[in-house]
Structure 1
Amino acid sequence: MPVAERTPKASRSIIREVFAFATKEPVLSVLIVALIVLQCLHPRPWASLPALVDWQTVLTLAGLLILTKAVELSGFLIWMAHRVVHRIHSERGLAFLMIGLAAALSTLLTNDVALFVVVPLALSLHKLTPLPLKRLVIFIALAVNAGSILTPLGNPQNLFLWQTGGVSFGAFVLGLAPLCIALMVVLYLMAAVFFRGKALDFSKDVEPHPVDRPLVGIAAVLFVAFVLLADAHHAAIGLAGVGLGFLLWRPRVVLQIDWPLLLIFVFMFIVLRSVAALPWIHETISRFDIGGSPLHAYAAGAVLSQGISNVPAAIMLAEFTKDWRALAFGVSVGGFGIAIGSLANLIAVRLSNERGMWLQFHLFSIPFWIVGGTIGAGLLLH
């Protein structure tokens, strides 16, 4: 075949591959394009870009991704969830359980991982008995966002603020506990209103759920060790031990983690810190005196998250304030409201695969953002 004929076909193939990648990883694609644009308009030496990345946060995230993937692949979470469900006899009781389970898992396994456990569980239970599936998935999404507020491991923005804030694990938990508890109380009150006491029958749920006990046991021990090392700012040592150990013993645990998420974090640090350093951006944000008032930092986090999501908001605003607690309050509340406020919202809606989810989601999430925002401001002032 002549070269002239092969070239258009090769070009079309490359375009298709680029389009497929952009469709599969839209956030990463946007960040790559943004970096290219920034380098064209306001170039920095390429060798200086890695210095913009908070590698301590990235290394900690990598270790947690490996450990949570090990727990997920062990089958323990699904086994436990199905065992617990058989103690529930009503729609409202199931909602209470799923909210609590989602929130509890999110405190240690991150909000995204909690969704990948609890939403599929809800879908499988819906096949056994009729459930208000859309509403249940929405409340699960709200629960992982509310529950993940409690610990540095709950979500990426907490992990970042914990590593950069210079506080201990315990101090972080104590600082965020009031907001987490208050939002969970509101969520349970809403669940009591919007779910009925209708009887449920799960007697058909007899399918076995095998558990890889050695895998979950080793993962649990390593989880504690890794958190202690990360708390002492030795995440690199912890990651080396966890990564090499699983590569030698169970390589699929390492191979199946969310590698694009790590790349997203690397590019997010580079792009957002580059943007924050632009003179006109820096001047505009500085006018709001975010660093001079906890309420200003809080409001900025809660509002900016509605436009760019709470993880990017935390990274960008951390350049203008050292008040980690006010910023953590703000971006935590910012996870509610518009769906883009937290990537967990988008994951939940996508996993449900239900039509009409977007409208119903916002009918619950936007009022919750308003109420949560008011509560957060009140707690911050006290």
Structure 2
Amino acid sequence: MQHEWLLLVFAALVLLLALLDPRPVDDYRRWLQLPTLAGLTGLLIAIQGIRDSGLAQHAAAASLARAHSLRSLGLLLVVASALLSMALTNDVSLFLIVPLTVSIGAMSNLPVLRMVVLEALAVNAGSTLSPIGNPQNLLLWQHSRLSFLDFALAMLPAAAVMLALVAALTWYWLPRDRVALSPQRIDGAVHSGRLGGWSMAALVGMVVAMEYDLAPLGAMALLALFGALARASLARIDWLLLLTFAAIFLGLGHFAELPLMQRMLDGLHLDQPPVLFAGGIVASQLISNVPATVLLLDRSPDAVALAVAVNVGGFGVAIGSLANLIALRLARQPHGLRQLHRVSIPFLLVCAPLVYLVSRCL
């Protein structure tokens, strides 16, 4: 359990807040976000099946066969991450891209941790553009009553700045070296086409279930399917990741609703654009950008301005966006959190003023 420090920290926070500020059981049910946890469960099951089938390794081998340099390969993965996040949400895109990246790294000299950090930045940037790219955008799009296209156009300046910065960082940070293959590690064979087919169908089905608010039903169906046909895959799933997210949801949900937090918010002048922008970013750094959106939504006079702020707030500390934590956990690379912060915090400090200036000028 020494590697599960995030779980331990948030479990301790949940217990501490329960003692200091007792709440009804219904509050805990609301904070737990069971549909989100169910969606994560279904995605973990499907992706584990894809890994066990050999499909990820097969796709990695095919990608390497067409790659010439680490920079071009890295840019391809970053662009794919950003585009997928616009249609499938930032979390789902990471479940597809990060296992592929790890497989590519096992067969070549691709720096996996650098690549995963860049992909985390890319999905946060790409999902900013789309009304359905992440949970906070979906909530604010519905609240704003703008059309799909109008919301996307309003977010375009901010997203363009973010994506340009991610592309520049990718080009600068990845080495110029050619892709060097490790022939003894290349395994492009699909070990179980049947398991791969089931798992791909399960992934598509889970995304559809999440889209139509049927995530718990979808997760139960996948548990039953894999329990009957692929128990070994179920045994290899990272169940502690789900416990970690449950603890994070409970701890941050309770923290955001503390009377002290509410009084602090009541004293802010969120009708002033600089205050709203800074408030959305700071709140995201403290409690993650989705809870920050819920916390500030009814106090903000401008849903689009709040959307820009909380999306920028997904950079910085890892907790700013849960996509950051998902990327690191899927990759399981040593010193991942340290590397993310070395890049993401300076990225936020550069990105935030640029996005604010561009958003205010256009």
TM-score, normalization by structure 1: 0.71
Amino acid at match of 1:231: E
Amino acid at match of 1:243: L
- SS, match of residue 208 in structure 2: helix
Amino acid at match of 1:114: I
CA distance in structure 1 between the partners assigned to 2:195 and 2:129 by the alignment: 26
Deviation, structure 1 residue 271: 2.7
Matches within 5 A, 1:89-108: 89-103=68-82, 108=88
Match of 2:243 in 1: 263
Match of 1:114 in 2: 97
CA distance in structure 2 between the partners assigned to 1:70 and 1:293 by the alignment: 49
The alignment's C-alpha RMSD in Å is 4.1
Amino acid at match of 2:125: A
Deviation, structure 1 residue 103: 4.3
Cα separation, partners in 2 of 1:185 and 1:363, compared to 1, 3 Å: same
Match of 1:30 in 2: 9
Amino acid at match of 2:261: I
Match of 1:227 in 2: 207
Residue 88 (structure 1) aligned with residue 88 (structure 2): no
Deviation digits for residues 59-118 of structure 1, max 9, x if unmatched? 222222222332333322232122112222234323323433554566643436633431
Deviation digits for residues 107-133 of structure 1, max 9, x if unmatched? 64343663343145335412xxxx677
Residue 314 (structure 1) aligned with residue 290 (structure 2): yes
Deviation digits for residues 126-174 of structure 1, max 9, x if unmatched? 2xxxx677755654453354345566897xxx34764797589x94994
Matches within 5 A, 1:233-312: 233-290=213-270, 292=271, 296-307=275-286, 310=288
Asked if the contact 1:115–1:144 (Cα under 8 Å) also holds between the matched residues in 2, the reply is no
Asked if the contact 1:57–1:159 (Cα under 8 Å) also holds between the matched residues in 2, the reply is no
Asked if the contact 1:288–1:296 (Cα under 8 Å) also holds between the matched residues in 2, the reply is yes
Deviation digits for residues 192-241 of structure 1, max 9, x if unmatched? 44556554444847733222322332333333333333222222332232
Structure 1, unmatched stretches of 5+, are: 1-19
Asked if the contact 1:60–1:239 (Cα under 8 Å) also holds between the matched residues in 2, the reply is yes
Amino acid at match of 1:111: L
Cα separation, partners in 2 of 1:44 and 1:91, compared to 1, 3 Å: closer
CA distance in structure 2 between the partners assigned to 1:41 and 1:351 by the alignment: 35
Structure 2, unmatched stretches of 5+, are: none
CA distance in structure 2 between the partners assigned to 1:218 and 1:348 by the alignment: 26
Moved more, 269-278 or 335-344: 335-344
TM-score, normalization by structure 2: 0.75
Amino acid at match of 1:186: L
Q: Which has the higher contact order (CA 8 A, sep 6+)?
A: 2
CA distance in structure 2 between the partners assigned to 1:319 and 1:301 by the alignment: 10
Residue 214 (structure 1) aligned with residue 190 (structure 2): no
CA distance in structure 2 between the partners assigned to 1:294 and 1:95 by the alignment: 36
Asked if the contact 1:115–1:344 (Cα under 8 Å) also holds between the matched residues in 2, the reply is no
Deviation, structure 1 residue 282: 0.7
CA distance in structure 2 between the partners assigned to 1:326 and 1:207 by the alignment: 47
Asked if the contact 1:52–1:270 (Cα under 8 Å) also holds between the matched residues in 2, the reply is yes
CA distance in structure 2 between the partners assigned to 1:57 and 1:160 by the alignment: 13
Cα separation, partners in 2 of 1:281 and 1:197, compared to 1, 3 Å: closer
CA distance in structure 2 between the partners assigned to 1:364 and 1:294 by the alignment: 27
Deviation, structure 1 residue 296: 4.5
Amino acid at match of 1:320: L
Identity %: 28
Deviation, structure 1 residue 377: 3.1
Asked if the contact 1:119–1:140 (Cα under 8 Å) also holds between the matched residues in 2, the reply is no
Asked if the contact 1:67–1:222 (Cα under 8 Å) also holds between the matched residues in 2, the reply is yes
Cα separation, partners in 2 of 1:232 and 1:143, compared to 1, 3 Å: closer
Cα separation, partners in 2 of 1:268 and 1:213, compared to 1, 3 Å: same
Deviation, structure 1 residue 284: 0.5
Match of 1:4 in 2: none
Amino acid at match of 1:229: A
Asked if the contact 1:294–1:380 (Cα under 8 Å) also holds between the matched residues in 2, the reply is no
Match of 2:40 in 1: 61
2:28 aligned to which of 27, 30, 49 = 49
CA distance in structure 2 between the partners assigned to 1:65 and 1:27 by the alignment: 19
Cα separation, partners in 2 of 1:183 and 1:117, compared to 1, 3 Å: same
Asked if the contact 2:117–2:340 (Cα under 8 Å) also holds between the matched residues in 1, the reply is yes
Asked if the contact 1:295–1:326 (Cα under 8 Å) also holds between the matched residues in 2, the reply is no
Asked if the contact 1:62–1:239 (Cα under 8 Å) also holds between the matched residues in 2, the reply is yes
Deviation digits for residues 290-326 of structure 1, max 9, x if unmatched? 5x56765543332334455x3xx42244133157755
